[in-house]
Amino acid sequence: MAIDQEAIKKHIRGIIEALGDDPEREGLKDTPERVARMCTEVFDGMNYTNHEIAQMFDKTFNEKCGLEYGLDDMVIVRDIDIFSYCEHHMALMYDMKVSVAYIPCGKVIGLSKIARIADMVGKRLQLQERIGSDIAQIISEITGSDSVGVRIEGCHSCMTARGIKRPGAKTVTTTFTGRFKEDTSLQMRLFL
């Protein structure tokens, strides 16, 4: 699915008019074009399925790790900064910190790829809960691991700037698969 910049320009112009302003005013005449370009950038993840993102970032290394080698290794990448847009209000979800852990089973993914996956998944109209499950699904597909944990903490402008207007409110979500579902000690390592 390609993002339709022409449709975005048309609708942004309509929103400006609906707000009672003049889209030909000096400060607004280029706004529809700027918003369309911004949407192409910040919603780039909408162009790809989880499987396509997995293919895009499938750079792994075969390593003697995991239970089949008598090892109980875990890889954790903490505090990956991302942002996204809430699908309910199209409001910014910001100051989001994503931590991803997985238990390797014979191969490991390049660490920068984990951050790239989190970034790309965030570039969709999303729910914070779905960001976690999408990341877990992609990491599992790439690494072959059935044990993935994702922790996300973030602020939602639909809570901080409108509605209840509680600027200090943060939302924390977790996604656990495989051994992370049952083993609270593994879960707690995401909170350290």
> Active-site positions?
86-89, 128, 156, 158
How far is Cα 41 from Cα 134, in angstroms, rounded to an integer?
A: 20
Structure token digits, residue 40: 């192409």
What DSSP string describes 125-184? EE-HHHHHHHHHHHHHHHH--S-EEEEEEEEEHHHHTSTT--TT--EEEEEE-THHHH-H
How far is Cα 20 from Cα 191, in angstroms, rounded to an integer?
A: 47
Structure token digits, residue 141: 């597909």
